[in-house]
Every structure is written in C-alpha cells, then in structure tokens.
Chain A
C-alpha cells in the first residue's frame, strides 16, 4: 500500500512547454485534489474530483487542466507553462464514508518554469 504517489518529483520546464503531473492512489479513495504551494501563501486548491470521470475547478484553476479517467489516477496538465506556475504541487485524496473529510497528501512535485 503506497498511499498517494506523485510523479515526477522534480521538473524544470521552459516557458511555453507542456507537461503532465501524475497522481496515483491505491486506497480506493473517491475524492482527489490538486494544490499548489507557494512561499507565504499556504496551499491553494487548483482542481478537484469527486469520482471517476468528474472534475471541478478550485480556487486557482487558470492555466491548468485535469482528467480523472481512472479512479486511482488524477492528472494535472500544464498546456503552456509560465514562470508564474513555478511552485510545489501536491496531490491529495480522501476516502468515502466516515473519514471523508481527511485528506492524505502525496510527497509533492517541485516544478520550475524558466
């Protein structure tokens, strides 16, 4: 049981390049979330999903797209990276039922856009 796994751990992009961040969970969780963390600003919700095939916008969705084709995977895409997207990205998931409020975080992806 690996929990929430994010790949890659580090990435450097040039402005205008695209990439996809992968989040995988093996806990059969229904809900999945993507956050970004910038110095002095805490974590901010980018997009989230309440189940396979569903996605919704969070607080800061512009410049990102997501997909949840399989329950265990939640992908975050940057179509044309900008320096403002330099950040640490965290994925989280939460189970159904009594513990649905609790979010379990992945180890993060550190992205630099030059």
Chain B
C-alpha cells in the first residue's frame, strides 16, 4: 500500500518568514495530493490540493509543488502569520471508482512566532 513520509515534525518560524513542509510517497500510481490544516482540538480542513497532471498550484500565500519523478510534494506558506500556527498534514491517494483512500503523513506542527 501507499506510504507517506512527512518532514519536519515541528517547524518554528518568525512571523513574515516562509515555511516549507515536505512529503514523499511510495506509490507511483497515486494521483491526488491534498494538504490539511488542523488547529488544536478541531477537525482537519483542506487548504490546498494538487493532482498528478499539475506541477504547481498556488492560492494566495499557499502553494504546493509536485515532483512525480521523485515522488515528493511540498507545501509552501509565505508571509506567515500567527493564525497559520497549526498541525499540517499531507496525504496521497489514488482515486478510483472504489473511493478516495487517503494515506496521511504524520503531521507537522507549525509555530509562527511574533
């Protein structure tokens, strides 16, 4: 099955700096790569996703890049703000008619310091 590794497990940045979180996956057939943000005690919420036919996607201060050859993808947050502090999870899946079985990474605790 799919295996997703995520690094780093914790990340501390100064407000206004950029943050980068990296994930690798094992199944070359995976075609969907979402990123979820989870605040303490809350539900995971999708912040951005990318499909395997796209190399990069951007949404305001957040961007995701995908390197299919190397089987890794990254989340980039620019101009970080205190409200970006949360746990971020990457995931990978192969969507078929049988559903979208996400395999998650172990999470990155991002702390944005004033």
Contacts and interface: CB of A to CB of B under 8 A. Distances in A.
B1 to A, nearest CB: 7
B43 A100 contact: no
A56 B98 contact: yes
B88 to A, nearest CB: 11
Interface stretch (B13-21, B55-63, B72-80, B99-107): B99-107
B3 to A, nearest CB: 11
Interface in A82-101: 90, 94, 100-101
Interface string B45-88: 11001010000000000000000000000000000000000000
A94 B42 CA distance: 19
A33 B34 CA distance: 16
B104 A44 contact: yes
A31 B99 contact: yes
A42 B104 contact: yes
Contacts of B1: 59
Contact of A102 (B34, B43, B101): B34
B101 A48 contact: yes
A90 B44 contact: yes
Contacts of A41: 106
14 contacts: A31-B99, A31-B100, A43-B44, A43-B89, A43-B104, A44-B104, A45-B101, A90-B44, A100-B95, A101-B51, A102-B46, A103-B34, A105-B44, A108-B43
Interface of A: 31, 33, 40-45, 48-50, 56, 58-59, 90, 94, 100-108
